[in-house]
Amino acid sequence: MEIINTPLNDCFIVKPRIFKDSRGIFFESYNQKLFREKTGLNIDFVQDNQSVSAKGVLRGLHFQSGEMAQAKLVRVIQGKVLDIVVDIRKESSTFGQSFSLILDAEAHLQLFIPKGFAHGFITLSEESIFAYKCDNFYDSESEGGIIYNDATLNLDWHLPEEEFIISEKDKNLPSFKELMNL
């Protein structure tokens, strides 16, 4: 397992060691001991989630706050997505900055997203299966979000907006400035 720093504090790309032969491939998708040794973080994942999405489905930008904030380790099992994170920790030197990464079933890269980040993704392939580990349980009372087309963040989702498939809930999220009281 290789840990690659991103431009955002505490957010890492996790690159597994992949073994290929005539039978196919094998890789260890997560190893708590190695993750702790390489990042210094002792994460105890307690919930796994999975979604299946058609091309153009945009989910996010979501987060949980307070005691129910979640760190996540995300990956694509099938297909390809553009994954975007935004640092919403006001005390962070990378506050308000975003990072995006294409995750797909070919490269098997994963993204570790620390607590205090908003997260979203859009499916770029015909279908995607997206999986993520969380270090805290989902709590609807702690849920928040930022509108996908926020003018301050100016995120590039890699598809034309007319191709987006977005839930009504996600279409009505507040702007970054509203959320952060800026």
Residues carrying an active site annotation: 62, 132
Residues 6 or more apart in contact with residue 40 via CB below 8 angstroms: none
Q: Which residue type, as a one-letter code, is found at position 71?
A: A
Q: How far apart are CA 162 and CA 83, in angstroms?
A: 19
Inter-residue long-range contacts of 39-42, CB under 8 Å, 24+ positions, other chains counted: 39/3, 39/12, 39/112, 41/10, 41/71
Query: What are 60's strand-pairing partners?
Result: none
Tokens matching residue 165: 């498939």
